[in-house]
Structure formats: structure tokens, C-alpha cells
Structure 1
Amino acid sequence: MTHLTNPLRRLSLEQLRTRTSEKWRVYPGDVLPMFVAEMDVPLAEPIVDAVTAAVRNGDTGYPAGTGYAEAFDDFARERWGWDGIAVERTTMVADVMQGILDVLDVISDRTGTVVVNSPVYFPFYDFVRHTGRTIEEAPLGADGRIDLTNLETAFRIAAKRGPRPAYLLCNPQNPTGAAHTAGELAAAAALAGRYGVRVVADEIHAPLVLPGAAFTPYLSVAGTGNAFAVLSASKAFNLAGLKAALAVAGPDAVDDLARIPWWAKESPSHIGVIAHTAALREGGDWLDALLAGLDDNRRLLTGLLAEHLPQVGYRPGEATYLAWLDCRALGLGDDPAAALLERGRVALASGPVFGTGGTGHARLNLGTSPELITEAVRRMAHSLTPLT
């Protein structure tokens, strides 16, 4: 294995402030942005080479072929020991959230109910409700993991409300960073089968399971034949601006996959598909270096909080580059991110938007340099120092 330099240590704050994406343009220049899920990394060289070659060749048309699915299949076999991304059971979609809506439209009714585990990635609420569907929360346990009692209650309610309920599963979990185990997923699948709930698993953070944990694909456990997973290389390789994703059907959901309309299948960026394919095929060493850096960062944050903000509760996540902070003891109200932005000029993601369980919490992005994490905690702690 080639040992690459930690990508999180390669860009200075001055270099990052030249970027024009959301992370570096939403707030004024005196704010340290630690909110949106963008990483402060240079792209892996194979991605740069593939995109540059395509642009130079004028290869900027519509997406075609199965290269992306084949690359993800090989990646899944190598990384997770899973051969479940059968190319004939996949289709390209624009991105993960749009792909989720495409799948929901063929397996559920727009007047139906979608169950989510809160706190959870906040666009789940906005996107699903925009279609006319109702959200039913199944709150996570105090450990940030699936609570099967809450899940069964939510499934029972969803099934009583009307036909064709669905469960939008975040695996691994955003924002808690839980990498759901095979046992947890199999138990959830059994409950879904009992109540006639169709499952769509958002597995965008799957490549970002950190040392000490393992990723279990939802479709790899028993009872998931009629389920779907939606995957992408975008989070792991920082490709949000190069949109592409895959919807993968369980073996009993192939007919549903075929009913996703052709325009959805042609909606990803062709350049995005090229970038994602190169990442999966040739970006493994870069990803390994990133995962090692993220592992260092979560240990760093643990130590910094213990030293400077011991009132903040933090359970280091098993996956993602996101840290879920319990700030209720700081006395900053329901939305501590708003207070920390105003007082400390550090931007975190607001906890309440993640649903039940988000009040008094904030999400911090660890996908940056150790220096900026240190500065973020310093600002947070300093903002709480009483003025004299």
C-alpha cells in the first residue's frame, strides 16, 4: 500500500478561503466554517486526471454505461466483502437525495408515511415533506443507535395511516456517526417485513467508517430483498459539486427499479460519473490516508473538549467526518450553534433541524486540519468566558 500524506493537512486557511463553494461563501471572512459537509482537502490525483482528460477531450455529454456501477461493485467487494451491487440491479441517479425520492416514488404513495430515525440528516425532512408525504420519527436511543422499540412503534403508526409506508434509513447515521451493526440492521429489516414497510437506505457515508468499526450494507442482511440502497462516492472523496449516485435494488425489487423513469437515470453529471468512477477505481490509497487523518481528528477533538469544554457531551462516531455535540449544559438555549456563531464566530450546523433529539445540540465537521479544529474549540471556549 502506498502511504500518502494526510489530505487534511495539505491546505492552509488562506488557500481554503479562495474556494467559492457553500462552506467558504455563506459566512463573512471572520467566521470559521465547520458546518456543511464539505472537506478541506485537495482531490485525489486520479480524480483530477480523469476530469481533466474528459474536459480536454470535450467529453461533457450525457452519462451512459455501467462503469460507475462496476467500479462500486469492485470497491464493495474489496472494502466490505460484499458482492451485492449486481450491475443488473443498479441505475444511476442524480445524487443520493434525488435518488431517494426517485425510489420512494415507485415504492410508496405521496400521501403515505416515511419513518426516519431522529436526529437525522435534516434534508430527509425537507425533501420528503415537499413531496406531500408525512414524516414519522423513530427516535434513536441515548447512545445514538437504532432503538427497536421506537422503530416498531413508528412502523405500527405508519402502517395504520395507509398503504405502502417506507423507512428512510441513514446507514451510517448522520449526525451521530453510528455504524449500524448487522444485528441491528437485521432486526430493523425483520420489523419492516412484519409491518409491510419498504426500506430505502442512504449509504452515502459508507466508505467513511473509521478504524475500530465496520460497515454493514443494509442489503447484505436477511430480509432485505425488496429494499433499496442509494450510494455515492461524493462524501468520501469530496465530490458534492460533481453529482452522481447509484440506486441499488434488492433481488425482489428489480421490477420497481425498472419503473424509475429514464430521465432520472440520465440526470447525473457525466463528469461526475467519471470523477466518482476514478475515485472508486484508483482513490483507495488517498481514502486510506483520509481515514487515518479523520481517526486522528476525532481523538484530537475528544482531548480538546475534555480540556476546554468538559460540559460538552461527545461520543466519538464510528463513521463519517461529523461530530455530534451535546451542548445542553452550556446554557445556550435550544440552538447552541446560533449562540456560538454570534459569540465565537465559529459556524456549526444547528442541532434542532435534525429533528427530535437535536435540541441543545450542534454538529461539527471534522473534515479539516487539526489546526482548524483546535481553533474552533478555542473560539467556542473563549466565547463562553464571562466578560470582565
Structure 2
Amino acid sequence: MTSIPHVTPGEPNPLRALTLDRLRCRTSMKWRTYPADVLPLWVAEMDVPLAEPVVRAVTDAMALGDTGYPAGTAYAEELAAFAARRWGWDGIAVRRTALVPDVMLGVVEMLRLVTGPGDAVVLNPPVYPPFFQFVGHMDRRLCEAPLGADLRLDLGTLEQAFRRAVAGGRPAAYLLCSPHNPTGTVHTADELTAVADLAERYGVRVVVDEVHAPLTARDVDFVPYLSVPGGERGLSLMSASKGWNLAGLKAALAVAGPAAAADLARLPEEVSHGPSHVGVIAHTAALRDGGAWLDALSAGLDDNRRLLTALLAEHLPAIRYRPGEATYLAWLDCRALDLPDEPADVFLDRGRVALNSGILFGTGGTGHVRLNLATSPEVLTEAVRRMVKAVV
């Protein structure tokens, strides 16, 4: 499988389109959680206008009064076409997909298909905090396999976790984040093939959150888990929500590998009642017609990764930052700052910059913060200036 290289963007950088004053008119969580003097670089919302094809599709639906219940397979068809264009992968069969309300609720439903109460779910901390919350609320047992010091999968640690997870003959699942949130790591084909081999050896079922897959850096290949040898028994969750800033328009797809089709067929029919019909329309339009906008965004994110690297090297060299290969998130190691309080608290209280505390991401998160890069270069520069002020 060969990924299709990103093309030169034909649209202006959407990260430069909106002023801070304009953004503060928004009423979503990012802009209403903190006072107006705080720069919010935390929750996964992007500071961008929506792609024009998405706006047009939703506006047309509103004009038509097309706000009923979702139907049809257009979303799955466009995801399959997008995967073929963007990743060179033609492995999404519409008959092996199911509409779910969003990625995390889809994860819950997939885990219910392959595990029962009290069974183990393996995670790779530091990892997206809702993994802990949703799995815990399902009455599943958390089993950690922390990332290595290089922020990549540690296969030895993962094997040990699989061994613990299936002890006593219980079923177990592995909830894989790919690309990884918060580190931005893109797992290689070799790494994913090794994961599939371990999962087969220990009888662990793999459920993979691939919501950040459209957001890879230039010249970085995303490898769908279901595309690797042995990935046929996997279950994936995909969505346009992160790539096109559509979190408020709920819709996602569960995708089964060929050997997991029977599992997906057991998904309760009522799960498909949860997604928004308008959300499905928006996500479908993004996948079908939003490629040029996505390319422009990806180029802007590459610029912001380079900018953040330069700003930290000049002004806060004690912070360790390895630019991620995907997502619009930056994982910052602030331990060398030797702060009296948690770094996120210091940056908020003294610098008026809101970041995510690394503690919430589990083992390996202490002393770290997660910063949202999906903003203008000017806001990013001001955020670092405020962070400097907070620690001097």
C-alpha cells in the first residue's frame, strides 16, 4: 500500500483566516470555559472557518428542511473513496461499516462486542483522557502498556500487558490510538503488523481510534490498522470530525476488517439512531469535496510545528518538544522547568494560557502539557510569550 502524497494547497491557510476577536464570538467549550483574558489552546477545536463545501452542504440541508434521521451509505462510500485517494487503501467495504454517534461512543460499542464486564482493555498512556473515562464507566478493567521514552509503542511492554489482560482465560481488547493523541506519533506499518501478531498470539481484539488519520504532516504516511497483515480481525472508528473541525456535528463510522464482519453485524440497530443527519451530510461533504481545504490546513499545521519548535528553542529551551507527525496537538515536556505547581496551572494562573494538564493523560503525563497548534501563528506566538512570562 502506497499513500498518495499531499498536493500543494490550492487554498489559503485557514489558520490565518479568523481574528481573535472573531473567534471570541464563538459559544463552544473552547471559548466559554475560561475568561476572555485567557488564550485557549487546550480542547480539540480548531481556530478555522469551515471548508466551503461543508458550509454549502449544511446550508442547503437547512434551506430544504432536511433535518430528519440519517439514512443511506453515502458517508461510508465517501470514506472509502477518501481512503483510496489519500492513503492508497481500498480496504473499506461499505457492507462492513456501521454508522455510530461519534468516535468515542463507537469505541464503547465496539468494546461491548468483543469484551464483557470485568474484562481487560489495554491502553498506551499517556493517551487521550476519555479512554480512561469511557472504559472505566463500562466496568472494564484498565491494563496499561505505557509508551516508550521515544513516545512510540513499546512492543515488549505491550506483550506483557496482553499477557496480564488475558490471564485466567478472560477475553481482552486493545484500544489503540492511531495516530496517537497527545504525542502525534504515527505508527509505522511494521509496528502495526507487530501489534496484529501479538494480538493474534494472545487472543486480544484490537479496537482502533483513527479519528486523527486525515491530519498527518507532509511526507508522513498514515497506515490504517485494518490494512496490515493480521489486522483483519480489527475494528476501527473513523470520522471527519477532527480533520474538518466538525465535532459539533456528530457522526462517525465503525469499520470492520474482513474477519470482524460478524462482530460488527451484532451491533444493536438502535446505535444508528444516535448520529445527526446534518452531521452525516457535513462529514460526507468534507470527505468528498474538502481535500484542497485539508491540504491547506495540513500545510499551515506544518508551519505551526516549525514555528513552535523555533519559539521554544529561543525562549523556553527547557521545554522538550518533539514535533508530532500528525494531529494538531503538541506534547510538551516541562519537567526541566522545575515548577512549584503543575505546569498547566502555572501557565493558566500566571500566563493566562489554557493548556491541558498532562496528568489527565495517565502514566507518563506528569510534568507535561498538551497544546493545541490549530490556531494562527500570531496567537501561537503570543501564547509562548505568555508562557515565558509565567515561568520567569
TM-score clears 0.5? yes
- Counterpart among 220, 242, 253 of residue 213 in structure 1: 220
Return the alpha-carbon distance in structure 2 between the equivalents of residues 375 and 369 of structure 1.
Answer: 10
**Identity among equivalent pairs (%):** 65
Residues in 2 aligned to 1:225 and 1:282: alpha-carbon distance in whole angstroms:
29
Q: Distance in 2 between matches of 1:84 and 1:175?
A: 27
SS in 2 for 1:191: helix
Alpha-carbon contact 2:9-2:295 (below 8 Å) kept = no
> Is the counterpart of residue 336 in structure 1 residue 350 in structure 2?
no
Query: What is the one-letter code of the residue matched to 1:149?
Result: G
Does the 8 A contact of 1:93 with 1:244 survive in 2?
yes
Match of 2:36 in 1: 29
User: Aligned partners of 1:3, 1:146: CA distance in 2, in Å?
Assistant: 36
Asked whether 1:348 is paired with 2:355, we answer yes
What residue number does 1:368 align with?
Answer: 375
The answer to whether the 8 Å contact 2:120/2:165 transfers is yes
For 1:60, the equivalent position in structure 2 comes to 67
Q: Residues 177-199 of structure 1, C-alpha deviation per residue, up to 9 Å, x if partnerless?
A: 00000000000110111111000
Q: Take 2:168 and 2:314, find their aligned partners in 1: how far apart are those partners?
A: 49
Preserved CA contact (<8 Å) 2:9 2:299: no
1:359 equivalent in structure 2? 366
Give 1:1-388 correspondences, 5 Å limit. Answer: 3-160=10-167, 162-332=169-339, 335-385=342-392
Amino acid at match of 1:98: L
Moved more, 270-279 or 205-214: 205-214
Shift in Å at residue 212 of structure 1?
2.9
Q: Structure 1, unaligned stretches of length 5 or more?
A: none
Paired position in structure 1 for 2:4? none
Q: CA deviation at 1:284?
A: 0.3
Shift of 1:333: 5.1
Residue deviations 1:323-356 (CA, integer Å, cap 9, x gap): 0000001112573101111111100011011010
Structure 2 Cα separation of the partners of residues 2 and 23 of structure 1 = 27
Letter in 2 for 1:29: A
What is the deviation of 1:161?
A: 5.1
CA distance in 1, matches of 2:339, 2:64: 54
The root-mean-square deviation of aligned C-alpha atoms, in Å, is: 0.9
Are the aligned partners of 2:136 and 2:142 in contact in 1 as well (CA < 8 Å)?
A: yes
- Uncovered stretches (5+) of structure 2, i.e. residues with no partner: 1-7
Amino acid corresponding to residue 137 of structure 1 in structure 2: E
The answer (yes or no) to whether the contact 1:33–1:347 under 8 Å persists in 2 is: yes
1:77-123 CA-partner distances (Å, limit 9, x unpaired): 00000011110100010000000001111111121100011100010
- Report the secondary structure of 1:263's partner residue: helix
Q: AA paired with 1:159?
A: V
Q: Distance in 1 between matches of 2:17 and 2:214?
A: 21
Q: Identify if the C-alpha distance between structure 1 residues 206 and 2 changes in structure 2 by more than 3 Å, giving closer, same or farther.
A: closer
Instruction: Describe the SS at the equivalent of 1:252.
Output: helix
**Could you list the per-position Cα deviations for residues 124-148 of structure 1 after superposition, in whole angstroms to 9, with x for gaps in the alignment?**
0000000111111101011111000
Q: Please list every run of at least 4 consecutive aligned residues from structure 1 whose deviation after the TM superposition is greater than 6 angstroms.
A: none
Measure, in 1, the Cα distance between the counterparts of 2:228 and 2:341. 38
CA contact (8 A) 2:183 2:330 kept: yes
Cα deviation digits, residues 162-216 of structure 1 (max 9, x gap): 5210000000000000000000000011011111100001000000011131100
- Change in Cα spacing, 1:333 to 1:104, as seen in structure 2 (3 Å) is farther
What secondary structure does 2:370 align onto?
Answer: strand
Name the amino acid aligned to 1:267. G
CA distance in structure 1 between the partners assigned to 2:312 and 2:215 by the alignment: 23
Q: 1:50 touches 1:278 (CA, 8 Å); kept in 2?
A: yes
Post-superposition shift, 1:310? 0.2
Query: Match of 2:269, as an amino acid?
Result: W
Distance in 1 separating the partners of 2:346 and 2:206: 37
SS at match of 1:301: helix
Q: Check 1:161–1:373 CA distance in 2 against 1; reply closer, same or farther (3 A cut).
A: farther
The 1-side partners of 2:150 and 2:340 are apart by: 22
Q: Look up the equivalent residue of 2:24 and give its one-letter code.
A: R
Residue identity matched to 1:135: L
Q: Displacement of 1:383 after TM fit?
A: 1.1
1:384 Cα shift?
Answer: 1.2
Contact 1:212 1:318 in 2 (8 A): no
Q: Give, in whole Å, the separation in 1 of the partners of 2:63 and 2:339.
A: 52
TM-score by length of 2: 0.97
* Pair 1:358–1:306, CA change in 2 (3 A): same
SS of residue paired to 1:92: strand
| Equivalent-residue separation in structure 1 for 2:46 and 2:260 (angstroms) | 35
Q: CA deviation digits over 1:42-100, x for unaligned, max 9?
A: 00000000000001111001111100000000000000000111101000100000000
